[in-house]
Amino acid sequence: MKVVICSKEKMDRLVAKEFIDMVKKKPNAVLGFATGTSPLGVYKNLIEANKKGIVSFKDCTSFNLDEYVGLAGNHPQSYRYFMDHALFDEIDIKKENTYVPSGVGDYHKGMKEYDALIKGVGGIDIQILGIGSDGHIAFNEPGTPFDSYTHETALAPSTIKDNSRLFSSIDEVPTHAVTMGLKSIMEAKKIVLIATGKNKAKAIYGLLKGPITEELPCSILQKHPDVTVYCDEDAYSLVK
Ligand code: F6R
């Protein structure tokens, strides 16, 4: 695993460059996106590069990691809504080529087809990940089997608490989500993970130094051949 320690501004630029380089090399690249606070700066850089004509996403396909169960795509806290506003509406990617798992209606059907859909377009070329304070990646909470594909999961109490900052009260945070599994993520050809802040330090220590255990979902990334972990000093502080 490659580790880059730098400021948030710098990692936003470097990770955006990894995506831009991929799309320049392969204009119909399959891009894996995440929601949350961590990737926002990267998305701003991608929007800027697209608007300046440095890169075009018009032939790209994208897959998002996860979605809350019970929130339709027009709900302001849904991950589809987040992605539309944070990225898709601002770049030239075709909306019909952007996939976010559904958490409403017959979502079990869509969930079962999600990995086949990814494989059908040749797999994810580059996947961005954030990390939870409990070491989750996507919504794969501690205890998730390493061989899991896209599935429904219950959110850990710590994740509900962490994510309540984006809702008006903790009672509004959905308790379940549809998430790509750890096996789905491991099948991405290239992975970049972003972590900032002291509340990620324990998870980053486990990711870089700890044993590979289902109790720390991110630890499986140690087995992936092409992962770069971007950390700020705070997130890296327990490793030193
Ligand atoms: C979001 C996702 C989550 C977040 C993680 C960190 O699609 O899959 O795993 O990446 O919860 O969230 P932030 O970046 O808000 O700290």
Looking at residue 36, its amino acid is G
35 ligand 1 Cβ < 6 A: yes
Q: What's the confidence (pLDDT) of residue 240?
A: 81
Judge contact between 214 and 145, C-beta under 8 A: yes
What is the Å distance from ligand 1's center to 185 Cα?
14
Spacing, Cα 51 to ligand 1 middle (Å): 26
Extents of the domains making up the chain: 2-186+198-236
3-state SS, residue 140 = strand
pLDDT digits (tens, 9 = 90+) for 87-128: 999 999 999 999 999 999 999 999 999 999 999 999 999 999
pLDDT at 65 > cutoff 90: yes
Report whether residue 65 contacts ligand 1, using a CB cutoff of 6 Å: yes
68: confidence class by pLDDT, cuts 50, 70, 90: very high
Q: Is the CB of 34 under 6 A from ligand 1?
A: yes
pLDDT of 125 reads 98
CA of 36 to the centre of ligand 1 (A): 5
Instruction: Give the residue whose CA is nearest to atom 12 of ligand 1.
Output: 36
Mutate to test the pocket of ligand 1, among 12, 40, 65 (most ligand atoms within 8 A of CB): 65
User: Is the pLDDT reported for residue 178 higher than 90?
Assistant: yes
CATH 3.40.50.1360 fits 2-186+198-236, yes or no: yes
Is-above-0.95 flag for pTM? yes
Positions marked active-site: 66, 134, 136, 141
Give the mean model confidence (pLDDT) for residues 22-43.
98
CA of residue 137 to ligand 1 center, whole Å: 7
- The reply to whether ligand 1 has any atom less than 6 angstroms from the CB of 38 is yes
Question: Of 170, 181, 180, 175, nearest to 69 (Cα)?
Answer: 175
Average pLDDT estimate for 212-217: 98
Q: What percent of the chain has pLDDT over 90?
A: 98
CA–CA separation, 86 and 98 (whole Å): 13
pLDDT of residue 142: 96
For residue 64, pLDDT over 90 is answered with yes
- Give the HSE-up count for residue 117: Cα atoms under 13 Å, Cβ half-sphere: 18
CB proximity list for 199: less than 8 A, separation 6 or greater: 133, 162
User: What pLDDT is stored for residue 56 in this prediction?
Assistant: 98
Distance CA 31, CA 80 (A): 15
Q: What letter does residue 64 receive in the DSSP assignment?
A: E
161 pLDDT exceeds 90?
Answer: yes
Give mean pLDDT, residues 142-153: 97
Q: Cα separation of 220 and 205, whole Å? A: 13
Atom of ligand 1 nearest to the CA of 36: 15
What's the confidence (pLDDT) of residue 40?
Answer: 98
Average pLDDT over residues 12-19: 98
* Distance (Å) from CA 162 to ligand 1 centroid: 10
pLDDT of amino acid 205: 98
Atom of ligand 1 nearest to the CA of 66: 7
Query: Which residues fall within 8 angstroms of residue 43, CB to CB, at 6 or more apart?
Result: 86, 87
Q: What local confidence, expressed as pLDDT, does residue 233 receive?
A: 98
In this model, does residue 24 exceed pLDDT 90?
Answer: yes
> Which atom of ligand 1 lies at the shortest distance from residue 64's CA?
7
- What percent of the chain stands above pLDDT 70? 100
